[in-house]
Homo-oligomer: A and B are copies of this chain.
Amino acid sequence: MDFSEKTIKKDMIYSGKIIEVNLQTVVLPNGRKSKREVVNHPGGVAILAYKDSDTVFMVEQFRKPIERNILEIPAGKIEKDEDIKTCGMRELEEEIGYKARKFEYIGKVVTSPGFCDEYIYIFKAEDLYKGRDDIGDEDEFINIKEVKIGEIKDMIKNGEIIDAKTICAFMMI
């Protein structure tokens, strides 16, 4: 069934460094009009980085919107015109200081499709070797953690891991 909504008016509300916000007037399948608040985001990558066959690297970092530290797999935003694989390899090295001999795309997720167009492209990195030493970028502070894959499901169930892209990545392997 075609439930698509045609945009008849689009007001730009904010164009920032990372996100854009617009308010769209749409025509619904029943002919009525409604409003949609839409956040445009450049999208991101996330990487399941295997230290060995049963251990992955994760990063703990402070996330301002929720005012707390959380545990995530290495991830980051796609820069303008950047290829997703290039972005994945860049973020892997920036966040944990490793490069990978095997770097494979395993799937994508949409994080919050009700109001935002952000996709996260997920990669699996294996056969890692040391890259740069200065991890983090200029406004990013990170603790690297090693986590056993066998413990992931319990960490999700007990709330130690609450980051959606991270949880999704483990459903793709």
Contact = CB atoms under 8 A, between A and B. Distances in A.
A34 interface: yes
Contact of A66 (B24, B32, B110, B143): B110
Interface string A1-28: 1011101000001101111010110101
B141 A156 contact: no
Given A26-B64, A34-B139, A36-B64, A164 B110 contact: yes
A168 interface: yes
A167 interface: yes
A41 interface: yes
A131 interface: no
Interface stretch (A48-56, A82-90, A115-123): A115-123
Nearest to A109: B164
Contacts of A17: 35, 37
Task: Give the 6 A-B CB pairs with smallest separation, nearest first.
Answer: A63-B113, A3-B62, A65-B117, A164-B164, A34-B139, A3-B141
A113 B141 CA distance: 15
A54 to B, nearest CB: 18
A141 B165 CA distance: 27
B107 A112 contact: no
A68 to B, nearest CB: 8
B111 A18 contact: no
Contacts of A139: 28, 32, 34
29 contacts: A1-B143, A3-B141, A5-B62, A7-B64, A13-B13, A14-B14, A14-B21, A17-B37, A18-B115, A19-B115, A21-B21, A21-B39, A26-B64, A28-B139, A32-B138, A36-B64, A36-B65, A39-B116, A41-B112, A66-B113, A66-B119, A106-B157, A107-B162, A109-B162, A109-B164, A110-B163, A164-B165, A168-B168, A170-B171
